[in-house]
């Protein structure tokens, strides 16, 4: 696990004024991403307040040396795959140097200032070429609630508390925040129809998830031990795993969700590093009494002690009605990463336990992280109990599922006494009508 | 669909002697792949008999012009993705020119001869960087037989005859023929055990599938119409989708197979083009009486008329016992692509019907293609009826599932009166003990 050091000092301030007290990107965060400035190509950068530090420019200005330069070089291109492949050492060296450069009193302020772009003048891109995308199902409240809707008699499968359930998703259709999502068409079987029909999805949903970027990978045939698993994490993001519930209900047996999920997923743009999250680790919440102990290949003392994440996650809805009346987005759910039944290290150890090879830039999703009640749901399917009880918005609008023009916004933040709070940046997308 | 032309003339012979009468690679085939000669880097080539034509060398020798040169350039690198992206026109131009160059009487024989390598002196590689891998389930006899074993009361789901069922697989662990496969470890729940255990897979299986290489892709949000779907196929291969049946039985609900499949898949090395397969198209066999008609988005007159494949597929087993006694591999199953309930065009139209984007170099698997009886099974699970009735080999050995050291060999061939038969080249791999 990442150690605490001077980069976490809550008193540390940046000469980039907007960073101080910034909800997402104070100097204690320093996440990596890929952006294009106006009239420029895609390149790697670091978010600081409402600015982005251009790593190519900073390298050219001679601001890095040694391990930090190596990491900055790898993080300066049009994808972060090479940077993710470097692992923790170079990444930490670069973080330390970035913290120095951006801190008040840095002797290099003028040189660094010349490498900054205003974020509103930039286009954000996917931070990495995603080789494979795996979605897990570790939100136990979600698994239970959704299981009840799909299988009233059998909500949680007998394997759930033994196996970190996961499945492969679609890498090609993952988009960066801000990219609109077109409502899918698909085959569904309405309960009252004689046969299936084909048309626009009627039960469009979001899923509130954490994403995990794989840093260093493993060779095929060589599992990652649970004790080493955290070292293979390159960072975190938010993930909206859009879901077409009517398509899903008809297609998912026996091989799992396919077209119900692969039309689009949306992620936040910034790779939040394990170092930035070091203050927000927590012990595994502990399994409810009577739950089975995980098998040895999923058990590690350090992971039990600090493998969980003290991260609040939130999903909001903006509609045309709210926009027209100048109202704020409606909070659909406020949840927390502690509702993950399995840790990220357990997900990685399980994924590779059969020899499956992970590669730098692969993305893992947590699965929907809902809390135990209606205010903490990570999907509208849960919040409206399968569409039965609509959500009523301040604009007077009602929602059973998502409508065209709706915009779903996800946020995440770490907050802990004695540390500067940090955020993930938004994961946001608007729904376009079926084409 | 690809047209018949002079490249399909069964009387055409090559000055490469081994090509004439070659089971896989006569001059009527001309498949593309990636290989390394001894002491050389990976590059694109064309199989002809027991030789490989080096496309970079042939380009340098000035043997191509116009569209053919453009295609040869794209097919000469370390992956064929750029070539697949070009689509049918340039591929056909290159095929025509290759046929001329390699035919008896070519004025360029001496120049071409200098560009040939003996295949036994070369290493074969994956022909493309696989972005996403999707596995379908269109072998209806397999779906029915396996369904019976996993769900005796409910073998074929109600959706099967309406939906070309598919799911996402793992791209990173796909290997080229010849790469050994390590037996996976995993979590299983033996029927008589109180809880799950972790250890080497006890029910290791192969799956006999056709693979489909995507050529030109589609933009996200823009489905491929069934009438255009065949134009997006870049080629075909054999696919062994190794399966750990004991891991699968315990993990697969509710989200589908995961670790039971993603430890390894093996494909044949050569991209068999749609043009090479043009003589081996056939009408859809016709659905059994009483089966529902496909929905309009899955219906196309040309696809009904010639969308199916007249391809024989075969799986064989070589064991240490057979090897020691100098015996031939044991034929585990002889099947045929006509047992696909859905065509490749239907798979592509369905996959993209929700706007999911396919990319050049994506791979689709057909799912296991079994015939209707015990001699035509595409998996050992079917051939031994879930391990109950062992296969007895000429060596006296018995197999209920695959054992360490076993080698699984797959072959495919097109044969039709009036045309030269062609083959796919082997898909072969040996099983290593769990690590």
pLDDT for position A175: 98
CATH class of this structure's domain A133-432: alpha beta
Residues of B in contact with A251 (CB under 8 A): 159, 163, 165
Report CA A301 to chain centroid distance, whole Å.
26
> What mean pLDDT is predicted for residues A322-331?
98
pLDDT tens, residue by residue, A163-197:
999 999 999 999 999 999 999 999 999 988 999 99
Q: What are the domain boundaries of chain A?
A: 6-125, 133-432
Q: Is-catalytic flag, A142?
A: yes
A175/B258 Cβ within 8 A: no
pLDDT tens, residue by residue, A345-386:
999 999 999 999 999 999 999 999 999 999 999 999 999 999
Our CA dihedral for A377, A381, A387, A388, rounded to 10 degrees, sits at -50
Burial class (CB in 10 A: 0-12, 13-18, 19+), B252: buried
A131/B187 Cβ within 8 A: no
DSSP for A265-315 reads EEE-S-BB-TTTTGGGEE----PPTTPPPPPGGG--HHHHHH-EE-EEEEE
Q: What would you report as the CA-atom Rg of chain B, rounded to the nearest whole angstrom?
A: 21
CATH of span A6-125:
2.30.30.230
Written as six digits, the tokens of B422 are 């062609």
pLDDT at A10 over 90: yes
pLDDT tens, residue by residue, A277-302:
999 999 998 888 999 999 999 999 99
Distance of alpha carbon A93 from alpha carbon B400, whole angstroms: 54
Residue of A174, A163, A176 whose CA lies nearest to A136: A163
Please name the residues in contact with A376: beta carbons below 8 A apart, sequence gap of 6 or more.
A141, A333, A334, A335, A336, A339, A370
Regarding an ipTM greater than 0.85, the answer is yes
β-pairing, B243-244 vs B407-414, is unpaired
B430: number of Cβ within 10 Å? 15
Catalytic residue selected from A142, A330, A336, A339: A142
Residues of B in contact with A356 (CB under 8 A): 170, 172-173, 259, 262-263
Residue B246 — φ and ψ, nearest 5°? -75, -35
Distance of alpha carbon A376 from alpha carbon A363, whole angstroms: 25
Catalytic residue selected from B22, B125, B141, B142: B142
What CATH number does domain B16-125 carry, 3.40.50.300, 3.40.50.12780, 2.30.30.230, 1.20.120.420?
2.30.30.230
Mutate to test the interface with A, among B137, B245, B249, B255 (most CBs of A within 10 A): B255
pLDDT for position A149: 83
Please name the residues in contact with B243: beta carbons below 8 A apart, sequence gap of 6 or more.
B204, B205, B206, B207, B257, B260, B261, B379, B381
pLDDT for position B109: 98
pLDDT tens, residue by residue, A109-167:
999 999 999 999 999 999 999 999 999 999 999 999 988 887 888 889 999 999 999 99
Residues within 8 A of A (CB atoms), B 289-348 only? 292, 295-297
* A242–B contact, CB cutoff 8 A: no
pLDDT tens, residue by residue, A146-157:
888 878 888 899
Distance of alpha carbon B370 from alpha carbon B313, whole angstroms: 9
Q: Is-contact B213 B84, C-beta < 8 A?
A: yes
- Residue spans of alpha helices (H) in B242-365: 245-251, 301-306, 320-324, 344-352
* B359–A contact, CB cutoff 8 A: yes
A195: number of Cβ within 10 Å? 10
A185/B353 Cβ within 8 A: yes
Of chain B, the end-to-end C-alpha distance in Å amounts to: 46
A110: number of Cβ within 10 Å? 9
Residue A28 — φ and ψ, nearest 5°? -80, -10
Distance of alpha carbon B166 from alpha carbon B298, whole angstroms: 15
Mutate to test the interface with A, among B151, B168, B218 (most CBs of A within 10 A): B168
Please state the length of chain A: 435
Q: Distance, in angstroms, between A363 CA and closest chain B CA?
A: 12
Q: Is-contact A75 A53, C-beta < 8 A?
A: no
Please name the residues in contact with B191: beta carbons below 8 A apart, sequence gap of 6 or more.
none
Number of A/B CB contacts below 8 angstroms equals 207
Each residue's pLDDT tens digit in chain B (435 positions)?
678 999 999 999 999 999 999 999 999 999 999 999 998 999 999 999 999 999 999 999 999 999 999 999 999 999 999 999 999 999 999 999 999 999 999 999 999 999 999 999 999 999 999 999 999 999 999 999 988 887 888 889 999 999 999 999 999 999 999 999 999 999 999 988 999 999 999 999 999 999 999 999 999 999 999 999 999 999 999 999 999 999 999 999 999 999 999 999 999 999 999 999 999 999 998 888 999 999 999 999 999 999 999 999 999 999 999 999 999 999 999 999 999 999 999 999 999 999 999 999 999 999 999 999 999 999 999 999 999 999 999 999 999 999 999 999 999 999 999 999 999 999 999 999 998
Q: What would you report as the CA-atom Rg of chain A, rounded to the nearest whole angstrom?
A: 21
């Amino acid at each position: 696990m990442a150690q605490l050091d001077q980069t976490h000092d809550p008193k540390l301030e940046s000469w980039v004024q907007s960073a101080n007290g910034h909800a997402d990107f104070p100097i204690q965060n320093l996440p990596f991403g890929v952006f294009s400035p106006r009239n420029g190509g895609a390149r790697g950068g670091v978010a600081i307040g409402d600015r982005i530090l251009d790593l190519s420019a900073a390298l050219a200005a001679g601001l890095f040396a040694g391990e930090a330069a190596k990491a900055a070089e790898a993080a300066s291109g049009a994808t972060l795959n090479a940077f993710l492949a470097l692992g923790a050492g170079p990444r930490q060296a670069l973080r330390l140097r970035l913290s120095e450069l951006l801190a008040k009193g840095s002797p290099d302020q003028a040189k660094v200032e010349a490498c900054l772009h205003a974020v509103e003048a930039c286009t954000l891109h996917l931070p990495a070429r995603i080789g494979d995308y795996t979605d897990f199902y570790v939100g136990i409240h979600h698994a239970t609630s959704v299981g009840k809707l799909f299988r009233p008699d059998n909500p949680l499968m007998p394997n759930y508390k033994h196996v970190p359930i996961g499945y492969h998703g679609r890498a090609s259709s993952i988009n960066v925040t801000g990219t609109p999502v077109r409502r899918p068409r698909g085959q569904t079987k309405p309960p009252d129809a004689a046969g299936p029909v084909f048309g626009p999805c009627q039960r469009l949903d979001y899923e509130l998830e954490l994403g995990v970027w794989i840093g260093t990978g493993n060779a095929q045939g060589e599992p990652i031990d649970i004790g080493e698993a955290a070292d293979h994490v390159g960072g975190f993001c938010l993930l909206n795993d859009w879901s077409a519930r009517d398509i899903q209900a008809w297609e998912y047996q026996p091989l799992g969700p396919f077209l119900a999920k692969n039309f689009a997923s949306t992620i936040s743009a910034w790779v939040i590093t394990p170092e930035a999250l070091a203050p927000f680790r927590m012990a595994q919440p502990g399994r409810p009494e009577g739950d089975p102990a995980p098998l040895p290949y999923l058990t590690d003392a350090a992971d039990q002690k600090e493998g969980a994440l003290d991260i609040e996650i939130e999903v909001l809805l903006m509609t045309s009605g709210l926009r027209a009346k100048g109202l704020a987005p409606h909070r659909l759910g406020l949840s927390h990463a502690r509702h993950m039944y399995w840790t990220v290290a357990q997900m990685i150890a399980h994924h590779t336990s059969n020899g499956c090879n992970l590669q730098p830039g692969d993305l893992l999703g947590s699965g929907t992280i809902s809390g135990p009640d209606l205010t903490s749901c990570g999907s509208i399917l849960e919040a409206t109990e399968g569409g039965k009880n609509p959500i009523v918005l301040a604009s007077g609008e009602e929602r059973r599922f998502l409508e065209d023009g709706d915009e779903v916004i996800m946020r995440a933040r770490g907050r802990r006494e004695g540390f500067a709070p940090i955020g993930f940046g938004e994961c946001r997308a608007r729904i376009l009508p079926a084409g």
